[in-house]
């Protein structure tokens, strides 16, 4: 069972945009630079390009920005930089992909430099207002002080002027020594904990847009199989059903007013599949193929030092073990989903994704619209584990269905069963380790042979 509870403020829902913090620059704040915008009440909005999946990247990057900006952490909020905006601004936010524990490692340097540049501009704006040297100023938690006179102002009061200044060269900036950090690296409460606990957090499954319909996805249960036919007439009078959409040669979707109605109708839809040659593939057959491969002889070594097999066979004792790992699904807590709305020659998508730019490219390719006519609003993901990165079937399928319902938001959701069946699996692998031991119990030679199969295909 999948349960999602959440709501979007009416004003945002009516505007057809994603729930904060997924859309930047919506509240009239002064943008000091691409990374930082500040409201008159000193609320600081920090733009984050990486995706949040529960791993804490948003909070970690916000702490790094706060450190270099020297603002008040209690006044910090975050927003997600959209890939469409990034493309229009020559990828000012850098890498949008998030995976392999690289969210902070890849971006921490230029994120900190962007924050430091904003601090320099804010201090210069205050100096210009007071007609004093910037060297006479200091800042602490967003409060700027003129040291000789004790005069004070705040980031919120000078942000608009700062936004008009020429930013410094990021390469010329000296970043703070980590030994002096006061915010970064500290065990502060995560910025996204409260709305997860109180139910305000909007994940893809929770997203509601005016007039939205839902689609349940079904692909051929055997990899490589094809869709032969389906009988739409059998479900057309079921409650809430809007229709059936063929997505590609092996996949279709049933669309209804709610996903529950769509999925019930999908279960009742008569479908004929051509399961193809892979229908005869079994786990036992795959295991047999791999075990036989471990005994293959040939010059296929990635690294070879001496003649290991010969040395092992002539040893006093031979020790052998076989190690095995099966195909493994990612099993994200939140099944795959995406929402797409196509209006005229423009496409918008709301996607829990690990790669916003990948989702944007998939949306453009699926609809045939230029990248400039597409936008993706990144929603926090209920787990990613790599499944929501380079593979963008969820974005593509939602877009294909939405093309049949112009002007209507369409949210496509995989059932848990469908998500597990059509995951992009971690590959199966089998390895045989053989060692030779001499009469004194010393290791004389080691031979390791590993095989893996990436796909379920006939053999």
Q: For 302-352, what is each residue's pLDDT tens digit? A: 667 777 788 888 899 999 999 999 999 999 999 999 999 999 999 999 999
Tell me the C-alpha distance between 199 and 403, whole Å.
32
Task: State what percent of residues in the chain have pLDDT above 70.
Answer: 91
Tell me the C-alpha distance between 95 and 354, whole Å.
11
CB neighbours of residue 219 within 10 Å? 21
**Half-sphere exposure in the Cβ direction for 305 (13 Å, CA):** 5
Q: For 184-203, what is each residue's pLDDT tens digit? A: 999 999 999 999 999 999 99
Asked if 451 and 290 count as a contact pair (C-beta separation under 8 A), the reply is: yes
pLDDT of residue 143: 98
Q: For 104-146, what is each residue's pLDDT tens digit? A: 988 999 999 999 999 999 999 999 999 999 999 999 999 999 9
Nearest to 120 by CA among 179, 156, 70: 70
| 3 has pLDDT over 90 | no
pLDDT of residue 454: 62
DSSP string of 244-306, one letter each residue: EEEEETTEEEEEESSHHHHHHHHHHS-EEEE--GGGG--HHHHHHHHHHHHT--SS--SS--S
Buried b (16+ CB within 10 A) or exposed e, 129-141: ebebeeeebebeb
Asked if 166 and 32 count as a contact pair (C-beta separation under 8 A), the reply is: no
Dihedral sign (CA 277, 282, 284, 290): positive
Tell me the C-alpha distance between 327 and 96, whole Å.
28
pLDDT of residue 301: 60
| 380 has pLDDT over 90 | yes
Nearest to 422 by CA among 175, 221, 204: 221
Query: Which of the listed ranges 25-34, 98-107, 148-157 does the model predict with the highest average pLDDT?
Result: 148-157
The residue ranking higher by pLDDT, 18 or 142, is 142
Tell me the C-alpha distance between 326 and 324, whole Å.
7
| 385 CA to centre of own chain | 9
Task: State what percent of residues in the chain have pLDDT above 90.
Answer: 80
Residues 6 or more apart whose CB falls under 8 angstroms from that of 10 comprise none
Q: For 41-70, what is each residue's pLDDT tens digit? A: 999 999 999 999 999 999 999 999 999 999
Asked if 63 and 183 count as a contact pair (C-beta separation under 8 A), the reply is: yes
β pairing state of 152-154 and 213-219: unpaired
pLDDT of residue 12: 36
Asked if 104 and 58 count as a contact pair (C-beta separation under 8 A), the reply is: no
Supply 448's token pair. 């390791």
Q: Residue 267's pLDDT band (boundaries 50, 70, 90)?
A: very high
Phi, psi of 203 (to 5 degrees): -90, 175
CB neighbours of residue 375 within 10 Å? 24
Residue 36's SS3 state is strand
Distances (CA, A) of 394 to 218, 358, 400, 414: 12, 11, 10, 8
Dihedral sign (CA 177, 182, 183, 184): positive
**Half-sphere exposure in the Cβ direction for 428 (13 Å, CA):** 15
For the whole prediction, is pTM greater than 0.85?
yes
Residue 118's SS3 state is helix
pLDDT of residue 23: 44
pLDDT of residue 300: 61
Residues 6 or more apart whose CB falls under 8 angstroms from that of 365 comprise 396
Residues 6 or more apart whose CB falls under 8 angstroms from that of 150 comprise none
Supply 277's token pair. 């040659």
Q: For 412-458, what is each residue's pLDDT tens digit? A: 999 999 999 999 999 999 999 999 999 899 998 888 877 776 654 33
Asked if 358 and 370 count as a contact pair (C-beta separation under 8 A), the reply is: no
Tell me the C-alpha distance between 259 and 214, whole Å.
5
Tell me the C-alpha distance between 337 and 111, whole Å.
30
Supply 51's token pair. 């995706």
Mean pLDDT computed over 227-252:
98
Spell out the alpha helix ranges (H) of 154-258.
Answer: 155-162, 193-197
């Amino acid at each position: 069972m999948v349960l999602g509870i959440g709501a979007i403020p009416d004003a945002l829902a009516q505007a057809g945009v994603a729930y904060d913090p997924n859309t930047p620059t919506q509240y009239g704040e002064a943008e000091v630079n691409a990374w930082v915008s500040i409201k008159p009440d000193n609320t600081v909005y920090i733009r984050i390009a990486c995706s949040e999946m529960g791993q804490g990247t948003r909070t970690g990057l916000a702490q790094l920005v706060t450190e270099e900006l020297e603002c008040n952490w209690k006044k910090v909020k975050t927003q997600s930089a959209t890939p469409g905006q990034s493309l229009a601004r020559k990828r000012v936010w850098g890498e949008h992909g998030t995976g392999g524990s690289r969210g902070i490692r890849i971006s921490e340097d230029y994120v900190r430099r962007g924050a430091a540049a904003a601090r320099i501009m804010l201090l210069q704006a205050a100096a210009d207002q007071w007609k004093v040297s910037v060297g006479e100023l200091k800042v602490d938690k967003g409060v700027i002080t003129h040291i000789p006179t004790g005069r004070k102002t705040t980031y919120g009061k000078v942000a608009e002027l700062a936004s008009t200044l020429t930013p410094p060269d990021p390469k010329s900036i000296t970043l703070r020594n980590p030994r002096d950090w006061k915010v970064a690296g500290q065990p502060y409460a995560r910025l996204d904990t409260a709305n997860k606990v109180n139910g305000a957090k909007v994940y893809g499954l929770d997203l509601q847009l005016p007039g939205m319909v839902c689609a349940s996805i079904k692909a051929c249960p055997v990899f490589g199989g094809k869709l032969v036919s389906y009988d739409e007439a059998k479900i057309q009078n079921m409650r809430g059903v809007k229709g059936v959409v063929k997505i590609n040669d092996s996949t279709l979707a049933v669309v209804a007013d709610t996903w529950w109605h769509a999925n019930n109708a999908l279960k009742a839809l008569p479908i004929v599949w051509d399961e193809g040659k892979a229908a005869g593939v079994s786990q036992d057959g795959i295991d047999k193929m791999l075990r036989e491969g471990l005994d293959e002889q040939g010059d296929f070594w990635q690294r070879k030092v001496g003649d290991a097999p010969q040395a092992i066979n002539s040893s006093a004792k031979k020790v052998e073990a076989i190690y095995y790992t099966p195909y493994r699904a990612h099993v994200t807590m939140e099944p795959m989903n995406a929402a797409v709305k196509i209006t005229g020659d423009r496409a918008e998508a709301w996607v829990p994704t690990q790669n916003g730019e990948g989702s944007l490219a998939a949306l453009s390719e699926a609809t045939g619209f230029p990248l400039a006519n597409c936008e993706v609003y990144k929603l926090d993901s209920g787990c990613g584990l790599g499944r929501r990165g380079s593979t963008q079937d969820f974005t593509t399928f939602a877009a294909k269905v939405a093309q049949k319902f112009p002007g209507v938001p369409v949210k496509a959701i995989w059932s848990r069963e469908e998500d597990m069946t059509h995951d992009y699996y971690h590959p199966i692998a089998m390895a045989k380790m053989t060692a030779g031991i001499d009469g004194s119990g010393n290791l004389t030679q080691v031979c390791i042979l590993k095989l893996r199969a990436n796909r379920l295909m006939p053999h």
